[in-house]
């Protein structure tokens, strides 16, 4: 286990780590470098295009919220918050609301809060949540005389123009990397894990579009994952499970093994006897934890392999997966 992974696991186990929401998802150094380079290239392109090609200056050239959009478009190009509809509509409706509120509400304090609150609501109803849109709405209110003088023209230039250029840059830059192609519908995974035939197809077939929508409705809050991402994640999890399945020769006398069950279906079995000299011989086991505790049974080696997910060991009051090797 690498030092980086050990550190992540240690942080994840702490109360402070969970409370602060420290992101522990492993991301490759290649992905991090591409994300940084993509954001650099997009802002460079946007600035050059607006200043040197279109001749824009001052307030009509660029708004700060595009920096936040660059983070989403290049750090999480397949996130639901990063898709073209969210970027274009989120910025446009937020700018429209910001300008209208700035004109109608004389108090800067009230106008600022109202612009951001209304833009969040509008993005929710339009299914176009894009966090930088809140900054766009706020800019329309507190951006000063130069912004206010643009009136509703602020929605078109710089906001929509900036957003269109950012989306185009994301399409062009991410196109060089098959697994990052933008929008998400154009992307495909970087690598494939060897798996039994039809594993991926089975994982996706089990989940319909209606199932996905119904599940999100039951959660009741916004989840930043697209249906395509969820299906791919589910497929990869199935493939990883198949790859890590215990081979028959790893079932050893005295070993402890857990199944894939949850809650009442979970149990841990200890192998108390193995029929010698037969690869597909019988295994006698005793359940030591979970469902059917203190019961004893007998299975063929193949049946036991299909039941077990991993070898485990006792750690305090819990059973933990035994480290490989």
Exposure letters 160-183 (e unless 16+ CB within 10 A, then b): ebbbebbbebbbebbeebeebbbb
**Helix/strand/coil percentages in the chain, nearest 5:** 60, 10, 30
CA neighbor of 94 nearest in space, from 131, 59, 68:
131
CB 205 within 8 A of CB 199: no
CB 249 within 8 A of CB 281: no
pLDDT of res. 197: 42
The structure tokens listed for 104 are 């109608």
- What pLDDT digit, counting tens, does each position of 218-230 carry? 766 656 676 677 7
d(CA 226, CA 212): 10
CB 265 within 8 A of CB 245: no
Low-confidence ranges of the chain (pLDDT < 70): 1-18, 21-25, 53-54, 58-59, 188-209, 212-213, 216, 219-224, 226-227, 241-245, 248, 261-264, 277-280, 325
pLDDT of res. 236: 76
Exposure letters 193-229 (e unless 16+ CB within 10 A, then b): eebeeebbeebeeeeeeeeeeeeeeeeeeeeeebeeb
pLDDT of res. 266: 82
What values do phi and psi take at 270, rounded to 5? -105, 130
pLDDT of res. 209: 66
- What pLDDT digit, counting tens, does each position of 77-92 carry? 988 899 999 999 999 9
d(CA 295, CA 314): 19
CB 102 within 8 A of CB 63: no
Q: What H or E segment, with its residue span, contains residue 285?
A: strand 282-290
Please, what is the end-to-end C-alpha distance for the chain in angstroms?
A: 10
HSE toward the beta carbon, residue 180, CA cutoff 13 A? 21
- What pLDDT digit, counting tens, does each position of 250-292 carry? 788 899 998 876 656 788 999 999 887 666 678 999 999 887 8
Q: What angle do CA 44, 50, 55 make, to 5 degrees?
A: 135
In the chain, domain spans: 5-180, 192-243, 248-321
pLDDT of res. 221: 62
d(CA 99, CA 111): 10
d(CA 188, CA 235): 13
């Amino acid at each position: 286990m690498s030092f980086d992974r050990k550190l992540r696991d240690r942080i994840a186990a702490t109360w402070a780590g969970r409370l602060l929401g420290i992101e522990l998802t492993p991301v490759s150094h290649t992905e991090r470098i591409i994300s940084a380079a993509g954001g650099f290239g997009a802002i460079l392109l946007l600035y050059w295009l607006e200043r040197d090609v279109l001749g824009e200056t001052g307030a009509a050239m660029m708004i700060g919220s595009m920096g936040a959009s660059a983070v989403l478009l290049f750090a999480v190009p397949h996130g639901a918050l990063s898709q073209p509809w969210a970027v274009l509509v989120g910025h446009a409706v937020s700018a429209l609301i910001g300008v209208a509120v700035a004109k109608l509400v004389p108090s800067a304090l009230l106008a600022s809060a109202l612009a951001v609150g209304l833009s969040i609501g509008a993005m929710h109803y339009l299914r176009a949540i894009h966090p930088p849109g809140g900054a766009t709405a706020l800019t329309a209110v507190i951006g000063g005389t130069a912004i206010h003088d643009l009136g509703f023209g602020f929605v078109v230039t710089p906001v929509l123009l900036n957003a269109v250029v950012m989306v185009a840059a994301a399409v062009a830059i991410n196109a060089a990397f098959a697994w990052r192609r933008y929008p998400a519908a154009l992307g495909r995974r970087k690598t494939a894990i060897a798996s039994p035939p039809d594993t991926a197809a089975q994982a996706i077939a089990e989940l319909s579009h209606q199932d996905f929508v119904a599940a999100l409705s039951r959660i009741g809050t916004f989840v930043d994952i697209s249906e395509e991402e969820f299906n791919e994640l589910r497929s990869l999890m199935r493939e990883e499970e198949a790859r890590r399945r215990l081979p028959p020769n790893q079932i050893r006398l005295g070993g402890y093994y857990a199944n894939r069950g949850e809650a009442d279906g979970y149990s841990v079995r200890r192998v108390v006897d193995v029929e010698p000299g037969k690869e597909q011989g019988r295994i006698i086991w005793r359940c030591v934890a979970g469902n059917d505790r203190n019961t004893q049974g007998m299975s063929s080696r193949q049946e036991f392999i299909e039941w077990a997910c991993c070898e485990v060991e006792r750690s305090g009051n819990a059973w933990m997966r035994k480290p490989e090797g």
